[in-house]
């Protein structure tokens, strides 16, 4: 009798399950987008994520936020002298009486089970109040609201590291009126956009552009008449394009001033750097294949035809046809 094979769940497996489970509900970070108060996301981006239509890559700020999460929480524990239980990053905590909402936690206070969230922020803007207050950016407040609902806590703490060197904490209290509003808005949004599958309006995000590129990959041989609304969009685009061009030219101008000043110098310490990236290599695989085939023909002239056939077979096997990119062009 063959021995049973024990399959261990890897970190990648657990993360994949977590991502799949997140698509079955609205999370703390999603709520701010749905309410229209997020700086980083929007309703269409939440819709595309829940439907699995786009992949949201981890950017540099996200990576550093994750790396600094534990040190910030350690700083909080030391500051208050309160032990924390660090949460499993791949566990989603559903709101007990409203499982359409869920939250991934950073940590909870062992003494009372209140959630503690860690943030790494570039600068302290006017959205932040005094240390210890409940005045925090509204998009973070909505996230903490879901965490409090998920843990049945009447408060949540936010530990923040500003500019990598200034530490502060804030405390937000649960508010039933806010919780009821969130539940109502989420219910309506989910029913319309996920259950009925009616996409929210597109916006200027990369996710929207990628979605439209995939949805309308190939153009049909039909045309449409311009409506007054479309003409207004074209006009606004022309204005934006002109401003963008002027801004790009000015940006390049001042960058060239800076580069000319630096010369061979690699940096102005604490302000900027102008260094070389690691040297790379660029292999022309098509030329390599042709060169190999050419040498094989010389070495085995009697097999030249067979060599050519094999080359063409492999070429066909690894060649895929692609849909030409749709380019939006405007008549002058």
CATH number for the domain that contains residue 156: 3.90.320.10
Domain boundary pick from 249, 268, 287: 268
112 DSSP assignment: T
List the single range of 90-94, 141-145, 205-209 with lowest mean pLDDT. 205-209
What does the chain come to in residues? Answer: 332
Total domains in the fold of the chain:
2
Packed helices 138-151 and 176-189: angle between N→C axes, nearest 10 degrees: 100
Task: Indicate whether 253 and 189 sit together in one domain.
Answer: no
List the single range of 89-98, 147-156, 272-281 with lowest mean pLDDT. 272-281
Task: Indicate whether 74 and 142 sit together in one domain.
Answer: yes
Task: Indicate whether 51 and 153 sit together in one domain.
Answer: yes
d(CA 239, CA 233): 10
302 DSSP assignment: G
Any domain includes 155: yes
Task: Indicate whether 94 and 189 sit together in one domain.
Answer: yes
- Structural domain boundaries, residue 251: 228-268
Structure confidence at residue 6 as a pLDDT band (50, 70, 90): low
Any domain includes 97: yes
Task: Indicate whether 58 and 185 sit together in one domain.
Answer: yes
Task: Indicate whether 57 and 180 sit together in one domain.
Answer: yes
Mean pLDDT of the chain: 88
Give the torsion sign (CA, 132, 136, 140, 142).
positive
Task: Indicate whether 25 and 162 sit together in one domain.
Answer: yes
**pLDDT, tens digit, 9 for 90 and up, residues 230-259:** 999 999 999 999 999 999 999 999 999 999
């Amino acid at each position: 009798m063959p021995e049973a094979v024990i399959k261990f769940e890897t970190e990648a497996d657990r993360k994949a399950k977590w991502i799949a489970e997140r698509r079955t509900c609205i999370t703390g970070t999603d709520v701010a987008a749905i309410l229209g108060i997020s700086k980083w996301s929007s309703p269409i981006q939440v819709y595309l994520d829940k439907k699995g239509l786009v992949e949201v890559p981890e950017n540099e700020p996200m990576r550093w936020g994750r790396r600094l999460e534990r040190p910030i929480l350690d700083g909080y524990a030391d500051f208050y002298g309160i032990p924390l239980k660090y949460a499993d990053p791949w566990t989603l905590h559903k709101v007990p009486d409203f499982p359409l909402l869920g939250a991934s936690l950073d940590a909870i206070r062992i003494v009372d089970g209140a959630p503690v969230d860690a943030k790494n922020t570039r600068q302290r803007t006017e959205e932040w109040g005094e240390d210890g207050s409940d005045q925090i950016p509204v998009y973070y407040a909505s996230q903490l609201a879901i965490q409090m609902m998920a843990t049945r806590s009447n408060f949540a703490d936010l530990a923040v590291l500003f500019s990598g060197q200034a530490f502060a904490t804030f405390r937000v209290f649960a508010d039933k009126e806010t919780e009821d509003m969130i539940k109502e808005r989420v219910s309506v949004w989910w029913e319309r956009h996920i259950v009925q599958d009616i996409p929210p309006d597109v916006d200027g995000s990369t996710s929207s552009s990628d979605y439209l590129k995939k949805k309308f990959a190939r153009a049909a041989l039909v045309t449409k008449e311009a409506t007054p609304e479309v003409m207004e969009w074209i006009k606004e685009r022309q204005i934006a394009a002109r401003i963008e061009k002027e801004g790009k030219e000015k940006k390049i101008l001042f960058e060239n001033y800076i580069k000319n000043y630096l010369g061979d110098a690699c940096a102005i310490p604490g302000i900027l750097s102008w260094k070389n990236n690691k040297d790379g290599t660029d292999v022309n695989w098509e030329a390599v294949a042709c060169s190999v085939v050419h040498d094989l023909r010389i070495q085995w002239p009697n097999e030249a035809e067979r060599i050519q056939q094999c080359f063409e077979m492999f070429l066909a096997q690894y060649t895929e046809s692609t849909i030409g990119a749709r380019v939006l062009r405007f008549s002058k």
